[in-house]
Amino acid sequence: MVDAAIIMVENGHKHLEREHEKPPAQRKEHWQVILDAAKEVGPSLFFSLAIITISFLPVFTLEAQEGRLFKPLAFTKTYAMGAAAILAVTLVPVLMGYWIRGKIRSEERHPLSRVLIRLYHPVVDFVLKHNKWVIGLTLALLVVTYLPYSQLGSEFMPPLYEGDLLYMPTTLPGMSITKARELLQQTDKILRQFPEVHHVFGKIGRAETATDPAGLDMIETTIMLKPESEWRAGMTVEKLVDEMDRAIQFPGLTNAWTMPIKTRTDMLSTGIKTPVGIKIAGPDLKVLEEIGKEVESVMRTVPGTLSAFAERAVGGNYLDFDIDRREAARYGLTVGDVQMVIQTAMGGMSITNTVEGLERYSVNLRYSRELRDDLEAIQRVLVPTPTGEQIPIGQLATITPRKGPMVVRSEDTRPNAWVYVDIKDIDVGTYVQNAKRTVAEKIKLPAGYNIIWSGQYEYMERAQTRLMLVIPLTLFIVFVLLYLSTRSMTKVGIVFLAVPFSLIGAFWLLYILGYNLSIAVWVGIIALAGLDAETGVIMLLYLDIAYEQWKKEGKMRSLQHLREAIHHGAVQRVRPKLMTVLTTMIGLFPIMWSTGTGADVMKRIAAPMVGGLTSSFLLELAVYPVIYYLWKSWSLKKELATEGQLLED
């Protein structure tokens, strides 16, 4: 936001410095000098800030959870930069006129400027002398940057540590409530023994609400952790999860570790509670179960798999009561009479409510467990007749145990079987690409069945598809704004060179920090693109000002004059260029060192901006003078040849 003010003030300072060097009789009026300085850089600064504002357009197109997360940032930045663009060409020149007064020290006498000029002077001389080598090395650096880029993984969002953990394993279906309660108590007891754990709360099965249709095969244990200051030395979240996973190893229990809020969001969006999910769709539940088992076994062989579990589509245990209507009629019974006994004696029937203070409890009545805990006992359950006789239910109905679906899932009107896959030490994008190849090689799907990859991968693909459409459109709008500002296709091309320059530092820093490409990283790169255009415009603006000044004074008659003009435009204005970059970097450094909730996401946004600004600034200082020299020397040779003059080297 302050870049435009820095350039505006610095240019006004430069104009006043030159004006004070003139005899008093030849000096312009103070406000006229300020006006000339503002008009010289104002249009370019306004367009550069407008480009930064427009560059965040792709963020506004994000939807779902990524849109809710990043749109407030986009709105804030857009409003701030829009206001900065207006103030830079309205309020700042007025304040310059009032506050920049008195004795103006020349840049050569400023201690910081002297150091910067002494350091940058030989650099410009060297790159202009060896211009072809500089261009070649820059191209080589761009090519080499493909190495770290190719090693970057991809994910939807970086892991957002919420302060607590959620242990969400899956069991095989058909487990009894007694065994489920016992398993839940055992896992809770093990988790509570870790010194980093404050307390745990486990749940198995569904709650008394239709919004949580969970079966007995799903355990949800929320692990509330102590503050990290009370943890063991050297302990991290990743190490803690590893220790917990090794401590809980039960046959038939497939572990999954995640965060409470994240899991709720994921399950509401796609229904998948793990980073990667596979949805198998088809008409027959039994075939879906067999395919799911095959996919589960194949996924366990994919590198990076922590756990894989396929839902058993028909794995539930059921008792079917086939009532013999004729036999029931012999005793004066209806089908409803027999079903009422089944419901009350075995399922249980609510007969009243008890009130204990402010608490209310339902009182259920049914046979005790020993009278209904096996098939023979159930067959001996007595059914009263209208005549007072007691008939065993085994004489009135055929009782058959059968396998059936615990939960019937469907999407797009087709039954589904889902496979949950938890991963470790690998990014989602790379893992899914490897898994797709493995599944395609080893699984042959029958006709009418298909596989859909879901979970975080589904979010990632959706966001990438949208960004691939919007980012080129945004670049085109930036291109149009640059052309309106410069009226030169060559200058637009030179400014756009700042984008690949910045990507060099961005990708190398991401590689060094071990970050994966994610929506947060791409938001940072989008913001970086706008800053690149601004720094490129400023560098080109200073070179143009020096070139036009030399030409106006009649000193542009040889390549030596051109080198002197470029030297003046680059070296004498290095201080404001450094200030614009440093102000942005100073604002980003606290984010890079931050810790706590949300820091992981913010670091991914800031990292490409820090690395990109560094490489872009250094390469612009070294390469822009060379490109400008090659461009202007060609036009200068053509101009002087037309005039019939010999161009000096």
* Enclosing domain of residue 400: 316-404
Q: Is the pLDDT of residue 183 over 80?
A: yes
Query: Which among 24, 10, 3, 12 has a CA at the least distance from the CA of 97?
Result: 12
Is residue 118 situated within a structural domain?
yes
For residue 201, being part of any structural domain is answered with yes
> Are residues 406 and 173 in contact, defined by beta-carbon separation less than 8 angstroms?
yes
For range 213-224, the mean pLDDT: 81
Q: What is the pLDDT, as a whole number, of residue 571?
A: 82
Kindly state the average pLDDT of the residues 421-442: 86
Listed in sequence order, the DSSP H helices in 100-213 are 111-129, 131-144, 146-151, 177-192
Beta carbons of 377 and 384 less than 8 angstroms apart: no
* Residue 609 Rama label (left phi>0; alpha psi -120 to 50; beta): alpha
Higher pLDDT, 232 or 647: 232
Q: Please check whether residues 91 and 121 belong to one and the same domain.
A: no
Return the higher-pLDDT residue of 555 and 501.
Answer: 501
Does one domain contain both 520 and 621?
yes
Same domain, 183 and 79: no
CA angle 218, 223, 224 (to 5 degrees): 150
**Total number of residues shown for the chain:** 649
Q: Do 492 and 604 sit in the same domain of this protein?
A: yes
Q: Which residue is associated with the tokens 């943890």?
A: 231
pLDDT digits (tens, 9 = 90+) for 514-548: 888 888 888 888 888 878 777 888 888 888 888 88
Which amino acid makes up residue 118?
R
Q: Return the H-helix or E-strand segment holding 404.
A: strand 397-404
Percent of the chain with pLDDT over 70: 96
Q: What is the mean pLDDT of residues 160-177?
A: 81
CA distances from 162 to 227, 237, 273 (A): 12, 11, 16
Do 520 and 552 fall into the same domain?
Answer: yes
Alpha helices in 215-270 (DSSP H): 237-247, 260-269
Of the CA atoms within 13 Å of residue 197, those in its CB half-sphere come to 20
- Dihedral sign computed on CA atoms, order 638, 639, 643, 648: negative
Query: Are 494 and 594 within one domain?
Result: yes
Instruction: Check residue 109 and report its DSSP letter.
Output: G
* Site of tokens 């610095």: 10
Mean per-residue pLDDT over the chain, rounded: 83
Contact 409, 340 (CB under 8 A): no
How high is the pLDDT of residue 645?
54
Residue 604 predicted with pLDDT over 70: yes
pLDDT at 648 over 60: no
Q: What is the CATH number of the domain that holds 186?
A: 3.30.70.1430
pLDDT above 90 covers a percentage of the chain that reads 1
pLDDT for the residue numbered 356: 87
Residue that is written with structure tokens 């500002």 in the block:
485
CA distance 418 to 183: 23
Domain at 589, CATH number: 1.20.1640.10
pLDDT at 212 over 80: no
Do 219 and 252 belong together in one domain? yes
Measure the CA–CA gap between 529 and 613, rounded to whole angstroms: 10
The answer as to whether 435 is a domain residue is no
- Res. 649 pLDDT band, cuts 50 70 90: very low
- Residue 478 contacts residue 58 (beta carbons within 8 Å): no
What's the DSSP call for residue 643? T
Residue 403: helix, strand or coil by DSSP?
strand
646 exposure class (CB count in 10 Å sphere: 0-12, 13-18, 19+): exposed
Are 18 and 41 part of one and the same domain? yes
Please indicate, yes or no, if residue 425 is contained in any of the structural domains.
no
Q: Among 14-23, 209-218, 353-362, where is mean pLDDT lowest? A: 209-218
Comparing 200 with 499, the larger pLDDT belongs to 200
Whether the per-residue pLDDT at 406 is higher than 80: the answer is no
* Strand (E) or helix (H) holding 59: helix 57-60
Residue 379 has φ and ψ, to the nearest 5°, of -65, -20
Per-residue pLDDT, averaged over 498-521, amounts to 87
pLDDT at residue 643, as a whole number: 58
Assigned token pair, 37: 């300085």
Shared domain for 129 and 59, answered yes or no, is no
* 118 and 187 assigned to the same domain: no
Cβ neighbours, 10 Å, residue 584: 20
Q: What's the whole-number mean pLDDT along residues 232-255?
A: 86
Average pLDDT of the segment spanning 564-580: 81
pLDDT band for position 113 (cuts 50, 70, 90): confident
Give the residue from 374, 404, 434 where a domain finishes: 404
Q: Which of these, 367, 322, 316, lies nearest to 346 by C-alpha position?
A: 367
Same domain, 250 and 120: no
Q: Which tokens belong to 133?
A: 């080598």
- Asked if pLDDT for residue 644 goes beyond 70, the answer is no
What CATH number is attached to the domain comprising 378?
A: 3.30.2090.10
User: Which residue type sits at 549?
Assistant: Q
Kind of pairing between the strands at 197-204 and 219-225: antiparallel
**Residue-level pLDDT at 640:** 66
Q: How far apart are CA 530 and CA 443, in angstroms?
A: 46
Residues 180-197: what's their mean pLDDT? 89
CA 470/CA 523 separation, integer angstroms: 13
- Integer Cα distance of 432 and 485 in angstroms: 45
- Which among 404, 419, 434 is the end of a domain? 404
pLDDT band at 350 (very low <50, low <70, confident <90, very high): confident
412 part of a folded domain: no
Distance from C-alpha of 470 to C-alpha of 468, rounded to nearest angstrom: 6
Q: How many domains does the chain have?
A: 4
Amino acid (1-letter code) at residue 31: W
Choose the final residue of a domain: 375, 404, 433.
404
Residue 646: pLDDT band (50, 70, 90) is very low
Whether pTM exceeds 0.85: no
In a domain, 305, yes or no: no
Residue type, 465: T
197 located within any domain? yes
In a domain, 441, yes or no: no
> Could you tell me if 566 and 543 are in contact, meaning their C-beta atoms sit under 8 angstroms apart?
yes
Using the CB atoms, write b or e for 235-261: b if 16+ within 10 Å.
eebeebbeebbeebeeeebbbbbbbbe
Q: Which helix (H) or strand (E) holds 454?
A: strand 450-455
- DSSP-derived pairing of the beta strands 305-310 and 414-423: antiparallel
Q: What is the pLDDT of residue 213?
A: 66
Query: For position 476, what pLDDT does the model report?
Result: 84
Residues with Cβ within 8 Å of 518's Cβ and at least 6 positions away in sequence, in order, are 154, 155, 156, 157, 158, 460, 604
Integer angstrom CA distances of residue 31 from 93, 98, 350: 9, 9, 90
If asked whether residues 518 and 635 sit together in one domain, one would say yes
Q: Say yes or no to pLDDT of 103 above 80.
A: no
**Residue closest to 213 by CA, chosen among 277, 275, 255, 267:** 267
